[in-house]
Structure 1
Amino acid sequence: MPPLSPLLASAPETGHEVSLTITLVFTALLLGMILALALEEKLHAKKSLIVALFAVVCLFVGTAVDILPFGPVIVGSHEIDMPIYIPAVDWGVIAIILGSSLFIDVTSKSGLFTWIAIKLTKASKGEPRRLLWLYGLMTVVFSAVLNNVTAMLIVGSLTGVSLKKLGREKYLLGFLIVEGLLTNIGGLLTLISSVPNIIVGTAAGISFVEFFYKASPYVIVATIVTVALGIRLFKIEKLPDDAAREEAAKQVESFDENDGIESQGFFMFGAAMTIAFVLVIATTSILPWVNELGMGYVALSFGAIMLIRYKSSVDQFYKGLDWDLLGFFAALFVVINVMEHAQVLALIGEGLAWMIGLGETTGTALVLVSAAGFSSVTDNIPLAAMLAKILGNMGTVSTDPKWWSVVFGANLGGNLTPIGSASTLVAVTIIHRYKLELSFGAFVLKALPYALIQIALAVAYVLLFLA
């Protein structure tokens, strides 16, 4: 096999040349992991175990072919010896999931989420379609100012409460899937809504205001289309007549939003902390000192503060954590890190760089579609970073639509598979928590119409309005 081109010739952290043979071997491992996840139900194995086994194999093979950077890790100004798979994990994401889960679980005990759910349910007058519109809008707004995982955790919790109280659990699967897809739509709204936005926007020199101004029209249209399609495909029916609507309105009016509030003081504290949590998470990047510690620190801190209420029985909340989800992410980060050293991500970038050379219209469209495809099966953060570097090295001006192709592709690709983004994975986890059947393949089949329409709209929007 010939060696890779200069762009892919060596793993910079190891100094060793990586041959195309090694890269293709690891590409096969990545495809094998994706296939195993697709067959999760048939294998009768949890996703955390599947990915952990592939992480074990990837680490062993990576060591055998000498592509991993063993040695001390520089943290600040100190050298620390640690196993190679420890720094491979994005502990910031793990901390966000862990802290947000604890915060939401404890805050839910105050009755706050039940109160919000009942208020929104009353505003819907018991009409399922109107409720989906309300929750869809809330999902997009939360995803724009929070991280997508936190938004999905909050909205998913509210959805379960509301539909259970309305006695319409049959719509739960549709609601959660639509909300999961909308988190990635909301993640497009501002420069700080997602990590790929920050990476690409910074590299291109796009300001916060410009980013919002250019992204918001697409987000509005995509949200409307996604909710409308969700109503149609999941057959969320209107109430048949005036009598049914009157009965539903009476039913929701009989709900007591104060039900579940055991302590008015704790309820007010929970509400204040939730508002503070949203504000601090949304402004983490500009807060002095806190911006150095990151959103994971913020989530863990707020989780710890809320746990003070149950200081003598905090173990009950530890038991309720979704350890399968946390284990999955930790193992997935290890696999992706090895793939990066094996130049699998660089190989993807090489193909996209070739597409860029095909011309303005064709190249821009292909970059968006390809970025979406690759982001559906791998971490969109290193992919976005790699593509931003390629565009920067090519001297691409900030007004070039290819920057937006990377932004839209990296975010929307998460709607193609349940492992394409953290928020869609959280949505699937909540679905399983409610004992609803949804395999990897079933998610892809249900999400594909939405994702294809969203990506097609993005291509048209970038070419017609941002070019």
Structure 2
Amino acid sequence: MNVFLASIIFIISYFFIITEKGNRALVACIGGVLMLLCGVITFDQALLMYIDWHTVTLLLSMMILVSITSRSGIFEYLAIYLAQAVKGRPIPLLVVIASLTACGSALLNNVTTVLLIVPIIFTITSILQISAIPYLMATILAANIGGTATLIGDPPNVMISQAVDHFTFNSFLIHLGPVVAIIYFLVMTGIVFLYRSKLSVRADQSRSLMAISPRSFIVNKVLAYKSIFVLVITTLGFIAQSYLQVGITSIAMAGALLLMLLAANEHETEEVLQSVEWVTIFFFIGLFMLVGGLEEIGLLDHIAQAIMSVTDGNLSTTALLVLWVSGIVSGFVDNIPFVAAMIPVMLEFESYGVQNMDPLWWALALGACLGGNGTIVGASANVVVAGLAVKAKQPFNYVDFLKVGLPTVIISFVVSTIYLYLRYFTYL
């Protein structure tokens, strides 16, 4: 009976999450509570076994860091400064904005990064009197690609890092950084070629941009210095994590608390906590309970068995299957719930004799994060940018994005396939 109830609750909840027929956090939490009420999992199991508090705390800490920093105006200052550095020329400007987005997504969070970058795009393109669409497309793609490179850049990576004890911040950089750099270069080259006819401005429009003072965007200089200081030491802490022997969640939490303490005079603690994306936090909590129900009834074990039977236990075949399947699914389903469902499945592989699981985890990370570029609903950053574009009266629809996103994911997965095979499987 529990098998039937858990499956029905999960399927219905996922349907509403995927179709966005209701607040996804509310849907996930209702589904999780139904798992409790139907006796699929107990309250103690939910709290102690299935809700990953490390992931929740890490996300909360990074949200606090970014929220406080954004109030200083430092992100807007940096965007205008870089735009002026290339003298407002459209193609270099696109490369600069995309690079800033990729770096921001790698070190902060891709959703937060696009929320900061997109308003600047509208400001700059309005001054230059050019279409914002090429810049919006480049921003979405860069956010998802850049976020793939680090542990904290994309929620799926955060979740994977908490599932594998020996993965550190540097692990993601070393194993995913090289392939991400190659993919980023190829994709941005393609974007420039695709939109080259729309990337031109008159000299007088460039002069209007050059007349703006970047410093006018700094609303609180003292807070900007404090934020930069804390972000730098927190990032250094991430990089030195393996030497410090301190968990990455603890480092992020310490950084968030330190910045809250230093910024106490500028912004009250209550204001900072109110700015946290609580919808995302509770979405994760509900999601972990939903997936916990599937794990409890043994369904995930059957999925792992099915995958292993298809690949006959071959490590390279399994990894490439995980890459392509996760990528395709993530193009149509938000990658967060997909990875939440896949992690227990991946953990089951160990019980079937898979000795070196690391390549499989990297395949999952690449597929889930890069697959988000496939469609407009493939990742949260895509949906956010599309919504902002509608408000700014420069909309693009599902098909418009698909024309750019589909070639992007094909390139990304072909490169990732070659990379995974050459780096991890040539010795087999």
Could you say which TM-score interval applies, normalised by the shorter chain? 0.7 to 0.9
Call closer, same or farther: CA 1:294–1:369 in 2, change over 3 Å: same
Which of 25, 35, 44 lines up with 2:15 in the alignment?
A: 35
| Aligned equivalent of 1:4 | none
SS at match of 1:259: helix
Pair 1:183 & 2:138 matched: no
Kept in 2, the 8 Å contact 1:48–1:328? The answer is yes
CA distance in 2, matches of 1:238, 1:338: 51
CA distance in 2, matches of 1:106, 1:52: 28
| Aligned equivalent of 1:49 | 26
CA distance in 2, matches of 1:293, 1:361: 32
CA distance in 1, matches of 2:89, 2:354: 53
| Aligned equivalent of 2:417 | 459
| Aligned equivalent of 1:17 | none
Q: Letter of the 1:196 partner, please give it.
A: I
Call closer, same or farther: CA 1:99–1:188 in 2, change over 3 Å: closer
Which of 297, 305, 316 lines up with 1:350 in the alignment?
A: 305
| Aligned equivalent of 2:368 | 413
Pair 1:125 & 2:87 matched: yes
Matches within 5 A, 1:5-20: none
CA distance in 2, matches of 1:351, 1:265: 57
SS at match of 1:309: coil
In the TM superposition, what whole-angstrom CA distance separates every residue of 1:236-281 from its partner, at most 9, and x where no partner exists?
75433xxx35334323321211103345444333332332233234
| Aligned equivalent of 2:132 | 170
Kept in 1, the 8 Å contact 2:101–2:139? The answer is no
CA distance in 2, matches of 1:91, 1:201: 14
CA distance in 1, matches of 2:247, 2:152: 21
Unaligned residue ranges in structure 1 (runs of 5+): 1-20, 74-83
Which of 106, 120, 132 lines up with 1:161 in the alignment?
A: 120
Tell me the CA shift for residue 157 of structure 1: 1.0
Which of 94, 109, 126 lines up with 2:56 in the alignment?
A: 94
| Aligned equivalent of 2:185 | 224
Percent identical pairs in the alignment equals: 16
Tell me the CA shift for residue 282 of structure 1: 3.8
Call closer, same or farther: CA 1:303–1:440 in 2, change over 3 Å: farther
Rg: which structure is higher?
Answer: 1
| Aligned equivalent of 1:280 | 237
| Aligned equivalent of 1:340 | 295
Moved over 6 A (4+): 437-446
SS at match of 1:328: helix
Pair 1:378 & 2:337 matched: yes
SS at match of 2:51: coil
Call closer, same or farther: CA 1:285–1:340 in 2, change over 3 Å: farther
Pair 1:270 & 2:232 matched: no
| Aligned equivalent of 1:309 | 265
Kept in 1, the 8 Å contact 2:175–2:362? The answer is no
Kept in 1, the 8 Å contact 2:36–2:43? The answer is no
CA distance in 2, matches of 1:333, 1:133: 38
Call closer, same or farther: CA 1:230–1:186 in 2, change over 3 Å: farther
Q: Letter of the 2:294 partner, please give it.
A: M
In the TM superposition, what whole-angstrom CA distance separates every residue of 1:71-112 from its partner, at most 9, and x where no partner exists?
5x7xxxxxxxxxx45764333333333333333233233232
Call closer, same or farther: CA 1:361–1:263 in 2, change over 3 Å: closer
| Aligned equivalent of 2:160 | 196
- TM-score, with structure 2 as normaliser: 0.76
Kept in 1, the 8 Å contact 2:288–2:340? The answer is no
CA distance in 2, matches of 1:198, 1:70: 21
> What is the CA RMSD across the aligned residues, in angstroms?
4.3
SS at match of 2:365: helix
- TM-score, with structure 1 as normaliser: 0.71
Which is richer in helix?
A: 2
In the TM superposition, what whole-angstrom CA distance separates every residue of 1:319-375 from its partner, at most 9, and x where no partner exists?
444333333222222212222223333232222222331756644432432344567
In the TM superposition, what whole-angstrom CA distance separates every residue of 1:177-220 from its partner, at most 9, and x where no partner exists?
22332134323899xx75536866949xx9968x7666444222
Kept in 2, the 8 Å contact 1:38–1:439? The answer is no
Call closer, same or farther: CA 1:161–1:201 in 2, change over 3 Å: same
Kept in 1, the 8 Å contact 2:25–2:280? The answer is yes
| Aligned equivalent of 1:107 | 69
Call closer, same or farther: CA 1:60–1:372 in 2, change over 3 Å: farther
SS at match of 2:281: helix
Tell me the CA shift for residue 440 of structure 1: 9.6
SS at match of 2:72: coil
Q: Letter of the 1:92 partner, please give it.
A: H
CA distance in 2, matches of 1:186, 1:34: 28
Tell me the CA shift for residue 51 of structure 1: 2.3
Which stretch shifts more, 364-373 or 105-114? 364-373
Kept in 1, the 8 Å contact 2:326–2:368? The answer is yes
Corresponding pairs, count: 410
CA distance in 2, matches of 1:92, 1:200: 12
Kept in 2, the 8 Å contact 1:48–1:331? The answer is yes
Call closer, same or farther: CA 1:453–1:292 in 2, change over 3 Å: closer
Pair 1:369 & 2:342 matched: no
| Aligned equivalent of 1:58 | 35
CA distance in 1, matches of 2:296, 2:224: 49
Q: Letter of the 2:188 partner, please give it.
A: V
